[in-house]
């Protein structure tokens, strides 16, 4: 099983309920990019992302995706001015900064919200895949209705999404 925000094949199906919903951000050098003008600031720019995490459909403006093997590699691309932005969840951006061990002036950089997306488990279009997907969806719905899912989100410091809208 993998998670994504869209099933990319007729042979795959996305669960009804997400495993995770969160905001994602663009990390950038202020001097290179200039003032943030909302997501339009990304238009036509190079966006470093962890391989397979983000796609062109995740952005409301055209961008050039540069898939990297890790968040640290994405960070390095921005620090070395080889990419305009590093896009990821804020927790991953912060983790990449910590793991990189690189020294840089944080005041020269900024991170701005790009959007919100949900990550749904993706299942094969097989009898077993459909059965597992049904178990997942029923389990998530039950956890939501009993309030237990909200406690899990709170424990990990995440905003609780509107599961009734899915």
CA atoms within 13 A of residue 103's CA, in its CB half-sphere: 0
Q: Residue 4's pLDDT is what?
A: 60
Banded pLDDT at 37 (limits 50, 70, 90): very high
What value, to the nearest 5°, has the Cα angle with vertex 41 and ends 46 and 56? 50
Output the domain CATH number for residue 103.
3.40.190.10
Beta bridge partners of 121: 3
Q: What is the pLDDT of residues 93-109, one digit of tens each?
A: 999 999 999 999 999 99
| Domain assignment present for 3 | no
| Domain assignment present for 150 | no
| Domain assignment present for 136 | no
Q: Residue 118: is it exposed, middle or buried by C-beta count within 10 angstroms (0-12/13-18/19+)? A: middle
| Domain assignment present for 139 | no
Q: Average pLDDT, stretch 69-94?
A: 96
Q: Average pLDDT, stretch 62-88?
A: 97
| Domain assignment present for 135 | no
Q: Residue 7's pLDDT is what?
A: 66
Number of other CB atoms surrounding residue 88 within 10 Å: 25
Percent of the chain with pLDDT over 70: 96
Banded pLDDT at 6 (limits 50, 70, 90): low
| Domain assignment present for 95 | yes
- Helix 90-100 crosses helix 71-79 at what angle (to 10 degrees)? 80
3-state secondary structure (DSSP) of residue 112 = strand
**CA distances to 14, 37, 42, 89 from 34, in Å:** 38, 9, 11, 22
Cα 72 from chain centre: 15
Average pLDDT, the chain: 92
Q: What is the pLDDT of residues 106-147, one digit of tens each?
A: 999 999 999 988 888 889 999 999 999 999 999 999 999 999
Round to whole Å and give the CA distance between 95 and 136: 29
For the four alpha carbons of 11, 16, 20 and 23, in that order, the dihedral sign comes to positive
Range of the domain at 97: 20-117
In terms of DSSP bridges, do strands 64-68 and 2-4 run parallel, antiparallel, or are they unpaired?
unpaired
| Domain assignment present for 10 | no
pTM attached to this predicted model: 0.83
Q: How many domains does the chain have?
A: 1
Judged against a pLDDT cut of 60, whether residue 1 lies above it is answered with no
| Domain assignment present for 84 | yes
């Amino acid at each position: 099983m993998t998670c994504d925000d869209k099933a990319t094949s007729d042979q795959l199906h996305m669960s009804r309920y997400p495993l995770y919903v969160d905001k994602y951000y663009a990390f950038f050098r202020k001097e290179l990019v200039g003032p943030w003008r909302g997501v339009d600031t990304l238009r036509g720019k190079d966006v470093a992302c962890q391989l397979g995490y983000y796609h062109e459909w995740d952005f409301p403006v055209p961008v050039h995706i540069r898939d990297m093997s890790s968040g640290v590699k994405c960070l390095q691309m921005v620090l070395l001015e080889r990419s305009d932005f590093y896009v990821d969840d804020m927790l991953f951006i912060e983790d990449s900064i910590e793991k990189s061990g690189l020294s840089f002036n944080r005041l020269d950089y900024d991170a701005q919200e790009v959007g919100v997306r949900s990550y749904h488990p993706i299942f094969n279009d097989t009898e077993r895949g459909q059965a597992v997907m049904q178990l997942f969806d029923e389990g998530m719905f039950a956890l939501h209705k009993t309030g237990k899912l909200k406690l899990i989100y709170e424990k990990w410091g995440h905003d609780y999404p509107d599961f009734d809208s899915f």
